[in-house]
Structure 1
Amino acid sequence: MSEESATSNGLGRRALLRLGAAGGAGAALAAAQTWAGPMLAQRGLLSPDGAFAATSTALGDELFYIEKYPTSPLILTPFRDALPIPKALAPVPKSVYSAWKNPPGPGPGQQNSLRNEQHQMWPSKVGYRDPIVYKIDVLLRTHSFTTSQVLPIDSDGNPTRSYDSSGRRIAAGTKRTLPPSTIYGFNGTFPGPMINAEYGRPALVRFANHLDENPLNLDRQDFGSPDWSFLTHLHNGHTAPESDGNPHYSMVAGPKLPGYLPKMFVDNLYLNWPAGNDDREKQSFFWFHDHRMDHTGSNVYKGMVGLYPIYDPKYGMDMGDERQGLRLPGVRTNNPDGSFDVKYDIPLAFYDCRLDDGETVHKDIHDVQKEFPAAKNPAEHPEWWGKTFYKHFPNHGFVGDIFTVNGTASPVLEVKRRKYRFRFLDASVSRIYEFKLMSSTQGPKSSASLGYQGDELEGQYRIPDGQQCMQFTQIASDGGLLPVPIKRDSFELWPAKRREVIVDFTRYQDGTPTTKGDVVYLTNVMKMPNGRMWSNSSRFLPDPKYRVPVLKFVIGDDAPDDSRIPAALRPLPPLPSNWQTMLHNRLIFEVKRGTLGGETEWLINGKPFEPAAVAASLRNPAGRTPLAQQRKGSFNLWEIRNSGGGWVHPFHLHMEEHRTVMRNGRDVTRGADSGHPDDVSKEDLVALDPGESVIIYRGFRDFVGPYVGHCHNLAHEDHAMMFGWSITP
């Protein structure tokens, strides 16, 4: 079913809500009254003449969704499951992929199974050899977040009833084992595979859609793209549009659909070549995720997440070998299959989820419009008790109450007494985290046992006596290595952002040495009850009682350590000395909430995403409204504004990183805003607090074609907060 697919009354859901946005509530009702009018009249939400007699919020509640979420069952023995550490995916041998019916290659029709696209730039154009080939199947499978038994609890933290797979009620107080959740996974796992990449060694990944196959006879539930399509984006690879996995391209070329349907494949070519062939543009940690229009959030939440650390072997600078180059922590092992693994260099993907209580009604516009007919929504689903619960269309964004790392809730990692490199990724739909390293004498206590209720139960456990005991040394942001390492007591991690840190487990911050058996907790101190924004954090009304342990480190034996924390890392690409002269003619994009809501609730410059169109800037100081089109090889200033309303927006622009030059009218090129220290680095995501304005400088190099920019609160992106832009020859 496409985004314009017919509802039961023959009108596409996005088309219906475009009418509402364009013509007001009356037009929306005229389109919807055949199925919604009687219900609205019964509830007193129609005036006698048939006009709406409700606010847009009340209308949204009645027509489209119920803003209500279940409380997940309490994990009874946290920090027992080992942290999964992904192994590098093995490439496909040339003898194997050469024998494929449609082998990858540079020729016309060799980019996807539709045979209608060609790779824009084969590696030979930049002097590289043919790519290493990987194969990833998109599969319908299951995943378990914990092996612990759980206790079903209600929003007051009290034991409550639960249900078995047939919907039979089970008495309150009964301990349960969670059923596995249904996922759409890269190679059938969550997170999906990890590709350890290197600059100078291109990679081609064939993503093949097998979501129509259901060998385990699984219930697909009521989220994930309803047509089982996918679209993979390497965030934020310097990649040609046909391999970028963006909806602006997908809808006008390639599949000419929101994504690739079952039985289709696409060969995404990642050159692993820095923008402009400038070593200063090299990055260090990508991830890949689904980007199917209107269902990015649900597909990512359903498991379509993979990891892509990228190393720099030039001069041995950052190749996973702590004996050379920058000597960052890492002991590399080259495997016979052509992959390599790096010990003491560990990616950490954070993801929050919420599990069904069997009694919360499933209802939002995706249900009303019958996108998931097998679910028979609106309805309760006792048969889904303990499985992942998702709401496509929450008012603010979707946050869970169980925090997981690499797909496991409350894991434990035994570390050696030495330095480690951790690559942090926020793979959550909406949640922002703030992390500290803390010790605790008494250990974790369940929030329910401490008397907390409602939103205060999120995270499930707290360490009431937690105290900061170590610091992070930050070495990279989402744009790659920093110019110099920075000591941090804590740091924020916004959706899709990456930060890399070194942690020295040999001593505490006061200089006291650690001993075997000591415990340190990676702790979230940002309280974010919904997807709108945090309520408490270190820089905004800190709550000293909100200390939620997310990952438990247990200090083990000594181990050799040849790593160093260097005085300098990677220099930044220079800004032009006259960048301020470009301010007059900058492009301006404002993110804001729509007035009616629905599928067009979140807008850019007052308009929803139009997949075949290039957006226009707001009127700039020069009095112009230029289209978001840039000549290949050009550079420009773009301004991203948050119109306010108490929402935060993590705003992502595809294809190249940017430098922040101004925040809220202040030049930050010589020193960052205290709330956004990464402004001094390269980034691919603009972190916008309420009402903020950020001006960035970025390039548009090497490729031509359509790309997108969008909010990475995926509930916002899926409801139209995205715009198309392009690079022209």
Structure 2
Amino acid sequence: MSPEEPTAQVSRRLFLRTGALGTAGLLGVSSHAAWSPLLAQRGLLTPDGVFSAVGTALADAVFYTEHFPISPLILHPFQDQLPVPRALTPVALSDVRGWSLPPGPGLGEQSSLRNERHQKWPSQVGYPDPIVYHIELLVRPHSWTTSKVLPIDGEGRPTESFDREGRVFAPGTERTLPPSTIYGFNGTFPGPMINAEYGRPVLVRFVNRLDENPYDLDRQDFGAPDWSFLTHLHNGHTAPESDGNPHYAMTMGPRRMGYLPGSWVDNLYLNWPAGGDEREKQSFFWFHDHRMDHTGSNVYKGMVGLYPIYDPSNGTDMGDERRGLRLPGVRTDRPDGAFDVAYDIPLALHDLRLDDGVTPHHDIHDTQGDFPGTGNPAEHPEWWGTTFFKHFPNHGFVGDVFGVNGVAYPVLQVKRRKYRFRFLDASVARIYELALMSSTQGPRSAASLGYVDDELQGQYRIPDGQQCMRFTQIASDGGLLPFPLVRDSFELWPAKRREVVVDFTRYLDGSPTTKGDVVYLTNVMKMPDGRMWESSSRSSPDAAYKVPILKFVIGDTAPDDSQVPRVLRPLPPLPPRWKDLMPNRLIFEVKRGALGGETEWLINGEPFEPDSVARSLRNPAGRRPLAEQRMGSFNLWEIRNGGGGWVHPFHLHMEEHRTVMRNGRDVTTTPQSGHPDDVSREDLASLDPNGSVVVYRGFRDFVGPYVAHCHNLAHEDHSMMFGWSITP
């Protein structure tokens, strides 16, 4: 092969990430000499040869059609009841013993591959054997709403629609949405909820049955093409073999991107705080897919589950408002070994788009031939009204329909008392800012108010909406705060959790509520794409953007023994001289790359390499250390946003961190106004445009490979991730 041929400079890594069909397409484009002057003018001719030729300037033309459908308008929002999940039933011990391959601590007892063992069994930390759960990955139908819908176009006008049989329905025809296809934990979205407790380990056997399709559903063109999965308990203090991360999966265990159909894996969650330190206890995890390159599509397809974790030590936070901190919750222990907690409700927020039948399906996965049965690039009128997804990496996918717990615009009947709500942003890229509002006139469709295109996102507005209540925040990603924070509104970034108490007995002005009153959980952050918000309370607020997501209807008064204490849980202390660690900190910069395609997003200028650990940028001490930490050590890591007007929700696996500096300022005593949660422990750093954070975190109890990545899942899936490890 001559040096003049562009493939001479194609690395094996980039070839594999693009795929044979994609590479062939690239060669076809790059082989034309006529492209060279244009590419040179745009700065696309670099040592990476042909792959630079498919950078930003060519991505849209060759790999993507950057166009998204307008979802049909849900005509009767806030009629469907909010699903309040019931705790999953554990498997009876007698049934577990009857399994042909029961769980255990021995070699080969960690998965169906029979090649790994659990690094630390509960007995090694003085805990009993785990409670066992069985969860299957299933292909199932899912309905987002029972309401009739009206197909509309980007101008908000009625438009035609279609069905699977090829019939065309005239503009103005009201329709019932067909069910969408999900890949769900036990076949639901969100999947099951496991109510866990510290001191009571949990083992979940995840079984892949995604090759089965008993309802003969159309799988469409998103979700891992090989139907594999990799479950991550976000952000459990967990050994690598149970962490569900690609750095482990690609080098150990399955030695591929995920667990294939027919296989199973036992993920062991010790429910043991880092270092055995009571101050490290958390309160709300979630589990989701982490399959390399298709995390976003698998999560959007339904792989989301809930995992509240309670603290029974001295009754501190065990779901019983008569004991300990007395946070809202009335606990009922069930004969099947699970327990439920009334007035303590997880709220998983998500956004989605529904196919309009005329928007082209065209992205790099079609070029690679990942979904050969679809005929893409193509329009799909037969998919009208079902969930639409595009792997498009540049901005990150955002939807125009907002849902909670798997239902679009639900309603929740609440008693006149205090509630604990556990918020989760399960969206691919969207950030929310949430407020509690009243409205005399009620919701009006954005189309009827004259909005068009991106302004139709959210579908409804409450033009006369006014804040009527406050949130009392009691927890963030890392568990209970040191003290409660009273909030008029709060931001919720992808994968973040925020726990709040809402008192439905009185309004902001002190007046009492009455039966039948209505309060709307309202999003006031306008975010037309995944780049960042266009307006929010802390940046160019738009007084007209008030999108109701969930309707609360206040009912009868109920007994309430709960309270919000002045002090919750103390933070683990920082070392007095933590700033002495600054010169030797590890530094990682997240930034968009120039290559396009599957390596759109980079860290320290490099794409994710699943078989190695990353290296820091040069630190003030003049070193570039590897991202390897000794077990039991603590260190400072800096995460920088490389600019471009993007925001990045950056997640570090395994332990929580404490933000000590933001944008070069010490925030250990006084956080910056836009990030009051910096007073807490978190597992995800919110990076504003051009911002940076320095975090202090530990590396305790386990050894092996982990990852850190952007939780805008389009960024993660297109290489904004790095491997790191804990060494003995």
Report the TM-score range of the alignment, normalised by the length of the smaller protein: over 0.9
- Give the aligned length: 713
Residue 209 (structure 1) aligned with residue 208 (structure 2) = yes
Q: Which residue of 2 aligns with 1:95?
A: 94
Q: Which residue of 2 aligns with 1:354?
A: 353
Q: Which residue of 2 aligns with 1:601?
A: 600
Aligned AA (2:721): M
Q: Which residue of 2 aligns with 1:532?
A: 531
d(CA) in 1 for partners of 2:605, 2:191? 36
Aligned AA (2:324): G
Q: Is the 8 A contact 2:444 2:462 kept in 1?
A: yes
Q: Is the 8 A contact 2:18 2:597 kept in 1?
A: no
Q: Which residue of 1 aligns with 2:390?
A: 391
Once the two structures are superposed, the pairs formed by residues 132-147 of structure 1 within 5 Å of their partners are 132-147=131-146
Q: Which residue of 2 aligns with 1:309?
A: 308
Once the two structures are superposed, the pairs formed by residues 575-724 of structure 1 within 5 Å of their partners are 575-724=574-723
Aligned AA (2:252): A
Q: Which residue of 2 aligns with 1:168?
A: 167
Residue 197 (structure 1) aligned with residue 193 (structure 2) = no
Q: Is the 8 A contact 2:246 2:290 kept in 1?
A: yes
Q: Which residue of 2 aligns with 1:107?
A: 106
- Structure 1 consecutive aligned stretches of length 4 or more whose deviation exceeds 2 Å: 11-20, 27-47, 49-58
Residue 367 (structure 1) aligned with residue 398 (structure 2) = no
d(CA) in 2 for partners of 1:403, 1:640? 30
| Aligned CA distance change for structure 1 residues 627 and 37 (closer, same or farther; 3 Å) | closer
Q: Which residue of 1 aligns with 2:179?
A: 180
Q: Is the 8 A contact 1:142 1:182 kept in 2?
A: yes
Q: Is the 8 A contact 1:17 1:600 kept in 2?
A: no
Q: For residues 653-677 of structure 1, give each alpha carbon's deviation from its aligned partner in whole angstroms, at most 9, with x where no partner exists.
A: 0000000000011000001111111
Q: Which residue of 1 aligns with 2:509?
A: 510
Q: Which residue of 1 aligns with 2:279?
A: 280
| Aligned CA distance change for structure 1 residues 61 and 331 (closer, same or farther; 3 Å) | same
d(CA) in 2 for partners of 1:441, 1:695? 45
d(CA) in 1 for partners of 2:535, 2:166? 39
Q: Which residue of 1 aligns with 2:476?
A: 477
d(CA) in 2 for partners of 1:595, 1:681? 36
Q: Which residue of 2 aligns with 1:565?
A: 564
d(CA) in 2 for partners of 1:117, 1:690? 42
Q: Is the 8 A contact 1:634 1:701 kept in 2?
A: yes
d(CA) in 1 for partners of 2:406, 2:79? 14
Which stretch has the larger CA shift, 37-46 or 578-587? 37-46
Residue 451 (structure 1) aligned with residue 450 (structure 2) = yes
Q: Which residue of 1 aligns with 2:250?
A: 251
For the residue of structure 1 that corresponds to 2:354, the secondary structure is coil
| Aligned CA distance change for structure 1 residues 149 and 13 (closer, same or farther; 3 Å) | farther
d(CA) in 1 for partners of 2:440, 2:36? 55
Residue 230 (structure 1) aligned with residue 229 (structure 2) = yes
Which ranges in structure 1 are unaligned for 5 or more consecutive residues? 1-10, 21-26
| Aligned CA distance change for structure 1 residues 397 and 110 (closer, same or farther; 3 Å) | same
Which ranges in structure 2 are unaligned for 5 or more consecutive residues? 1-9
Aligned AA (1:463): I
| Aligned CA distance change for structure 1 residues 40 and 308 (closer, same or farther; 3 Å) | farther
| Aligned CA distance change for structure 1 residues 162 and 585 (closer, same or farther; 3 Å) | same
d(CA) in 1 for partners of 2:12, 2:143? 34
d(CA) in 2 for partners of 1:292, 1:59? 27
Q: Is the 8 A contact 2:21 2:367 kept in 1?
A: no
d(CA) in 2 for partners of 1:275, 1:53? 44
| Aligned CA distance change for structure 1 residues 467 and 121 (closer, same or farther; 3 Å) | same
Q: Which residue of 1 aligns with 2:56?
A: 57
d(CA) in 2 for partners of 1:29, 1:702? 43
For the residue of structure 1 that corresponds to 2:387, the secondary structure is coil
d(CA) in 1 for partners of 2:294, 2:230? 10
Aligned AA (1:352): D
Q: Which residue of 1 aligns with 2:400?
A: 401
Q: Is the 8 A contact 1:355 1:385 kept in 2?
A: yes
Q: Is the 8 A contact 2:21 2:368 kept in 1?
A: no
d(CA) in 1 for partners of 2:86, 2:35? 57
Q: Which residue of 2 aligns with 1:5?
A: none
Once the 2 structures are TM-superposed, how far is the Cα of residue 598 of structure 1 from its aligned partner?
Answer: 1.1
Q: Is the 8 A contact 2:15 2:23 kept in 1?
A: no
Q: Is the 8 A contact 2:347 2:405 kept in 1?
A: yes
d(CA) in 2 for partners of 1:157, 1:300? 29
d(CA) in 1 for partners of 2:50, 2:723? 35
For the residue of structure 1 that corresponds to 2:331, the secondary structure is strand
Residue 291 (structure 1) aligned with residue 306 (structure 2) = no
d(CA) in 2 for partners of 1:710, 1:363? 26
| Aligned CA distance change for structure 1 residues 52 and 657 (closer, same or farther; 3 Å) | closer
d(CA) in 1 for partners of 2:290, 2:13? 18
Q: Is the 8 A contact 1:67 1:395 kept in 2?
A: no
d(CA) in 2 for partners of 1:55, 1:130? 53
Q: For residues 192-250 of structure 1, give each alpha carbon's deviation from its aligned partner in whole angstroms, at most 9, with x where no partner exists.
A: 00000000000000000000001111110000000000000000000000000000000
| Aligned CA distance change for structure 1 residues 186 and 19 (closer, same or farther; 3 Å) | closer
Q: Is the 8 A contact 2:583 2:620 kept in 1?
A: yes
Once the 2 structures are TM-superposed, how far is the Cα of residue 630 of structure 1 from its aligned partner?
Answer: 0.2
Q: Which residue of 1 aligns with 2:3?
A: none
Q: Is the 8 A contact 1:616 1:627 kept in 2?
A: yes
Q: Is the 8 A contact 1:321 1:330 kept in 2?
A: yes
Q: Which residue of 2 aligns with 1:541?
A: 540
Aligned AA (1:425): L
d(CA) in 1 for partners of 2:37, 2:65? 17
Q: Identity over aligned residues, as a percent?
A: 76
d(CA) in 2 for partners of 1:53, 1:615? 23
Once the 2 structures are TM-superposed, how far is the Cα of residue 421 of structure 1 from its aligned partner?
Answer: 0.2
For the residue of structure 1 that corresponds to 2:132, the secondary structure is strand
Q: Is the 8 A contact 1:704 1:727 kept in 2?
A: yes
Q: Is the 8 A contact 2:288 2:299 kept in 1?
A: yes
Aligned AA (2:507): Y
For the residue of structure 2 that corresponds to 1:468, the secondary structure is strand
Q: For residues 18-65 of structure 1, give each alpha carbon's deviation from its aligned partner in whole angstroms, at most 9, with x where no partner exists.
A: 799xxxxxx999854455569998999789x99999883330011111
d(CA) in 1 for partners of 2:502, 2:52? 58
| Aligned CA distance change for structure 1 residues 332 and 391 (closer, same or farther; 3 Å) | same
For the residue of structure 1 that corresponds to 2:159, the secondary structure is coil
| Aligned CA distance change for structure 1 residues 332 and 85 (closer, same or farther; 3 Å) | same
Once the 2 structures are TM-superposed, how far is the Cα of residue 13 of structure 1 from its aligned partner?
Answer: 10
Aligned AA (1:385): W
For the residue of structure 1 that corresponds to 2:388, the secondary structure is coil
| Aligned CA distance change for structure 1 residues 681 and 46 (closer, same or farther; 3 Å) | closer
> Which TM-score applies when normalising by structure 1?
0.95
Once the 2 structures are TM-superposed, how far is the Cα of residue 16 of structure 1 from its aligned partner?
Answer: 3.1
Which stretch has the larger CA shift, 54-63 or 121-130? 54-63
